[in-house]
């Protein structure tokens, strides 16, 4: 594989890194954007540039917010050279930019700053190579997650990471957010399946991080890039590891009389040395809503249910599933249904995959939270989440990658009734709760702009400084997806440096919970 050295900008980059829109405008943002447009008009096809406000509206938001930001320009990239040209044009003009795939992220990672350039890689959809003997797929960033499995299905292979949005979310976005999914308990997250990434760097060059080999010597820059949320460059090609399809799969729907009992069963399954392909949990509220929209009838009135799936050689699968059922029964399980065939398995999974559609029937608005706690704390933390919701006068329903301890509390509210601030405060309290129990503010959705101000409750100032140094080593001008992941000043009058406002208050919340 040919490797290109890190490129250098053709012109000297600006030394000012924009911190807010007011400062930006004072630096002549309109003329800078016009310069980017003119330069790209000479390099790209006319249909690749979108500057109409109405057409750009959809690119000003992602799954995090329904409110769109006023975008400066949208570039529809078709190949790596288009991305490179756009980055160099933005670098010369001092204009911030953000890469975007399908826009399904729910942390604001692909949400641009006002007036920024959006580089859409959604049209880069080539699967360059399928190499079954090497268990490898070489694909562009606009290929959907599910399409990778489709590309290798005839060779009895599949791509293991499976976020709920796998039919529409793109591999480039999966790499940026280190996406997870139900089956990551056994098979790992995106980072465990990415062998290499071709990156257009913030300096306008091209570099291959990792490669098409299982191991590449030197610093693991591939590992640094995966999960960096688009702040260290733009992926234009990805080498992915795929796996042989398991010979046997067994799926069970197991209900419990309480969230605590279901959480205890999850911890005991893993403690027994059993690692199912996945363990998913849903509480009663979302179970009923999913049942109603799918028509999948539930056997009993359950406070919570687990979907447990075991895969592998037939004998091992049967042994594991038998042990899972025994543990669940000893922990107070009620009804246990094991899928009889593929159609029955798909019926069970429809309950889980329809959860985020079902939540729209429960309230006018929903805020999707994402945190992680140790498995042993899962049941108690879910009970505490319910207590927090009651104190806030709101409802929360839960969908959980239980095997990973990855919570998705769905905060239900009505913005038109003035409940948005209370919902935001509740979501913040849930994050603080997770950290206080030895967990994390996010498991798979990312930090983005949503949780950047929560980073100080999890990391020390020194740790954040180290992260900032890594970021600046890749992106010295700060133009590549700015104001994401790391906390930054929110007001133009604030001095440069880390954003620490409300840190003491948030740490107090951690201590309380």
- pLDDT tens digits, one per residue of 33-57: 999 999 999 999 999 999 999 999 9
What integer pLDDT is reported at residue 21 of this predicted model? 47
Q: What is the pLDDT of residues 18-32, one digit of tens each?
A: 444 445 554 557 888
Q: What residue ranges of the chain have pLDDT lower than 50?
A: 1-22, 26, 490-513
- Give dist(CA 464, CA 460) in Å, integer: 6
Residue 398 CB contacts under 8 Å (≥ 6 apart), including other chains: 259, 281, 282, 283, 286, 382, 385, 407, 408, 409, 410
Q: Where are the domains of the chain?
A: 21-120, 127-244, 248-357, 363-436
Q: Of 512, 510, 420, 500, give the one whose Cα is nearest residue 453.
A: 500
Provide the whole-model pTM: 0.88
Strand-strand pairing, 234-241 and 333-338? unpaired
The answer to whether the CB of 319 falls within 8 A of the CB of 250 is: no
Largest CA distance in the chain: 70
For 4, 12, 151, 236, 419, the CA distances from 79, given in Å and listed in that order, are: 16, 25, 20, 8, 44
**Strand stretches in 59-188, DSSP E:** 73-76, 97-100, 117-120, 127-131, 136-139, 157-158
What integer pLDDT is reported at residue 151 of this predicted model? 97
Please, which contacts does 47-51 make with residues 24 or more away whose CB atoms are closer than 8 Å?
A: 47/76, 48/75, 48/76, 48/77, 48/78, 48/82, 49/73, 49/74, 49/75, 49/76, 50/74, 50/75, 50/76
CA of residue 282 relative to chain centroid, distance: 20
**Cα dihedral 420→424→425→426 (10° resolution):** 100
What integer pLDDT is reported at residue 76 of this predicted model? 98
The answer to whether the CB of 229 falls within 8 A of the CB of 481 is: yes
CATH number of 21-120: 3.30.43.10
Query: Which of left, alpha, beta for 249 (phi over 0: left; psi -120 to 50: alpha)?
Result: beta
Topology agreement, domain 127-244 and domain 248-357: no
- Beta-carbon neighbour count of residue 264 at 10 Å? 22
Q: What is the pLDDT of residues 98-137, one digit of tens each?
A: 999 999 998 999 999 999 999 999 999 999 999 999 999 9
- Beta-carbon neighbour count of residue 42 at 10 Å? 8
The answer to whether the CB of 368 falls within 8 A of the CB of 410 is: yes
Beta bridge partners, 256, equal 304, 333
- Give dist(CA 502, CA 509) in Å, integer: 11
Residue 42 CB contacts under 8 Å (≥ 6 apart), including other chains: none
Q: What is the pLDDT of residues 209-223, one digit of tens each?
A: 998 877 778 899 999
CATH 3.30.70.2740 fits 363-436, yes or no: yes
CATH of 127-244, one of 3.30.465.10, 3.40.640.10, 3.60.10.10, 3.50.50.60: 3.30.465.10
State the CATH class of domain 248-357.
alpha beta
- Give dist(CA 287, CA 217) in Å, integer: 48
What integer pLDDT is reported at residue 7 of this predicted model? 33
What integer pLDDT is reported at residue 338 of this predicted model? 95
| CB environment 162-193: b (16+ within 10 A), e (fewer) | bbbbbeebbbbbbbbbbbbbbbbbbbebbbeb
């Amino acid at each position: 594989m040919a490797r290109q050295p890190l490129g250098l900008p053709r012109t000297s980059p600006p030394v000012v890194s924009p911190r807010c829109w007011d400062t930006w405008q004072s630096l002549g943002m309109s003329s800078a954007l016009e310069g980017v447009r003119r330069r790209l008009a000479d390099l790209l096809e006319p249909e690749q540039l979108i500057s109409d406000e109405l057409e750009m509206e959809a690119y000003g938001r992602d799954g995090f917010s329904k409110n769109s930001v006023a975008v400066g320009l949208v570039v529809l990239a078709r190949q790596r050279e288009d991305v490179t040209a756009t980055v160099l044009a933005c670098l010369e003009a001092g204009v911030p930019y953000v890469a975007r795939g399908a826009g399904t992220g729910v942390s604001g990672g692909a949400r641009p700053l006002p007036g920024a350039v959006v580089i859409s890689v959604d049209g880069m959809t080539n699967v360059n190579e399928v190499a079954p003997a090497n268990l490898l797929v070489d694909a562009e960033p606009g290929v959907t997650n599910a399409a990778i499995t489709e590309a290798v299905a005839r060779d009895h292979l599949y791509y293991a990471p499976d976020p709920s949005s796998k039919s529409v979310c793109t591999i480039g976005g999966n790499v940026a957010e280190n996406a997870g999914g139900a089956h990551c308990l056994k098979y790992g997250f995106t980072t465990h399946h990415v062998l290499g990434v071709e990156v257009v760097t913030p300096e306008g060059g091209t570099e291959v991080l990792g490669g098409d080999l299982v191991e590449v010597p030197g610093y693991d820059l591939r590992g640094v890039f995966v999960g960096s949320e688009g702040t260290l460059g733009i992926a234009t090609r990805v080498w992915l590891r795929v796996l042989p399809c398991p010979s046997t799969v067994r799926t069970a729907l197991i209900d419990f009389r309480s969230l605590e009992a279901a959480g205890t069963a999850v911890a005991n399954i893993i403690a027994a040395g059993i690692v199912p392909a996945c363990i998913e949990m849903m509480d009663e509220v979302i179970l009923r809503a999913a049942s109603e929209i799918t028509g999948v009838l539930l056997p009993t009135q359950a406070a919570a249910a687990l979907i447990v799936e075991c895969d592998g050689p037939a004998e091992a699968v049967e042994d594991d599933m038998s042990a899972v059922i025994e543990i669940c029964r000893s922990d107070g399980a009620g009804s246990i249904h094991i899928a009889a065939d593929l159609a029955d398995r798909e019926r069970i999974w429809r309950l889980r995959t329809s959860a985020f559609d079902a939540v729209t029937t429960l309230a006018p608005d929903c805020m999707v939270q994402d945190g992680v706690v140790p498995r042993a704390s899962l049941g108690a933390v879910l009970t505490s989440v319910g207590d927090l919701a009651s104190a806030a006068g709101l409802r929360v329903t839960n969908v959980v990658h239980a095997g990973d301890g990855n919570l998705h509390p769905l905060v239900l509210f009505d913005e038109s009734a003035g409940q948005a601030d209370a919902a935001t405060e509740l979501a913040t309290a849930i994050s603080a709760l997770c950290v206080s129990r030895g967990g994390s503010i996010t498991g798979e959705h990312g930090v983005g702009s949503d949780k950047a101000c929560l980073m100080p409750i999890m990391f020390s100032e020194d740790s954040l400084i180290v992260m900032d140094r890594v970021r600046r080593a890749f992106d010295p001008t700060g133009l590549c997806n700015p104001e994401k992941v790391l906390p930054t000043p929110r007001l133009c009058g604030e001095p440069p440096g880390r954003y620490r406002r409300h840190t003491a208050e948030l740490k107090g919340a951690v201590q309380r919970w």
